[in-house]
């Protein structure tokens, strides 16, 4: 019940304690708490069972794995300070590293020197067209995703001539490959 008050205030500062809790929200909270406990317990049970199954399956003796008493002939070949090397790897270990590169394959196309010169000229022309297009293009607005991406991937100015040369060679190769 209510505590006796010495003040003249009409409302008590402490909530009254009732003998029977009949609030619907309190019942809901209790049911929710029980449900959460059941879910948590079931999750823990599943976790423990899966852990036990994993350990049990890993401890199971596999018939394919030889025991320490079994002897497999010709599997260990001492080379240098290596104590156990598979015989299939011995030829690789006997090679001198680094290996020599393969020679570049010869051009199998029917293009003559004149065709190659024309293709290079077309590549240079495509590079000029691209440079002109890039110089007349309006710059991107600042703080846009495209501008941020360009700034993030920007490299040193020394890369630009190499990229231009690669673009011209790519265009020339397209001309040679397509005829």
Q: What does the pLDDT read at residue 77? A: 46
Q: Where is the domain boundary, 29, 44, 60?
A: 60
Question: Six-digit token pair at 79?
Answer: 């080379």
Q: Is residue 44 part of a domain?
A: yes
Torsion of the alpha carbons at 167, 170, 175 and 178, rounded to the nearest 10? -140
Q: Is residue 136 part of a domain?
A: yes
Task: Give residue 171's domain range.
Answer: 113-178
pLDDT, tens digit (0-9, with 9 covering 90-100), for 111-120? 678 888 889 9
Question: Six-digit token pair at 179?
Answer: 């005829």
The neighbour count for residue 127, using CB atoms within 10 Å, is 19
Q: Is residue 42 part of a domain?
A: yes
Q: What does the pLDDT read at residue 8? A: 64
Those residues with Cβ within 8 angstroms of residue 167's Cβ, 6 or more apart along the chain or in another chain = 123, 126, 127, 130
pTM above 0.85, yes or no: no
pLDDT, tens digit (0-9, with 9 covering 90-100), for 88-122? 887 887 778 777 888 876 766 676 788 888 899 99
Cα dist from 152 to 104, 130, 145, 156, whole Å: 36, 22, 10, 12
Question: How many domains, in total, are found in the chain?
Answer: 2
DSSP codes of every residue in 77-131 = --BTTBS---GGGHHHHTS-SSPPPPPPPPP-S---HHHHHHHHHHHHHHHHHHH
Q: Is residue 4 part of a domain?
A: no
pLDDT, tens digit (0-9, with 9 covering 90-100), for 117-164? 889 999 999 999 999 998 998 888 888 998 888 888 878 888 888 999
Q: Is residue 70 part of a domain?
A: no
Q: What does the pLDDT read at residue 179? A: 66
């Amino acid at each position: 019940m209510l505590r006796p008050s010495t003040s003249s205030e009409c409302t008590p500062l402490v909530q009254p304690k009732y003998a029977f809790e009949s609030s619907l929200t309190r019942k809901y909270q209790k049911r929710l708490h029980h449900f959460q406990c059941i879910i948590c317990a079931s999750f823990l049970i599943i976790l423990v069972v899966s852990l036990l199954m994993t350990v049990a399956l890993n401890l199971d003796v596999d018939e394919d794995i030889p025991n320490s008493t079994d002897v497999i002939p010709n599997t260990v070949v001492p080379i240098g300070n290596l104590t156990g090397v598979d015989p299939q790897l011995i030829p690789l270990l006997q090679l001198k590293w680094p290996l020599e590169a393969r020679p570049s394959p010869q051009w199998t196309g029917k293009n003559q020197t004149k065709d190659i010169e024309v293709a290079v000229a077309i590549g240079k022309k495509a590079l000029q067209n691209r440079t002109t297009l890039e110089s007349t293009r309006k710059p991107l607005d600042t703080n846009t995703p495209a501008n941020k991406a360009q700034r993030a991937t920007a490299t040193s100015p020394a890369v630009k001539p190499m990229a231009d040369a690669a673009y011209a060679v790519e265009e020339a190769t397209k001309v040679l490959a397509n005829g």
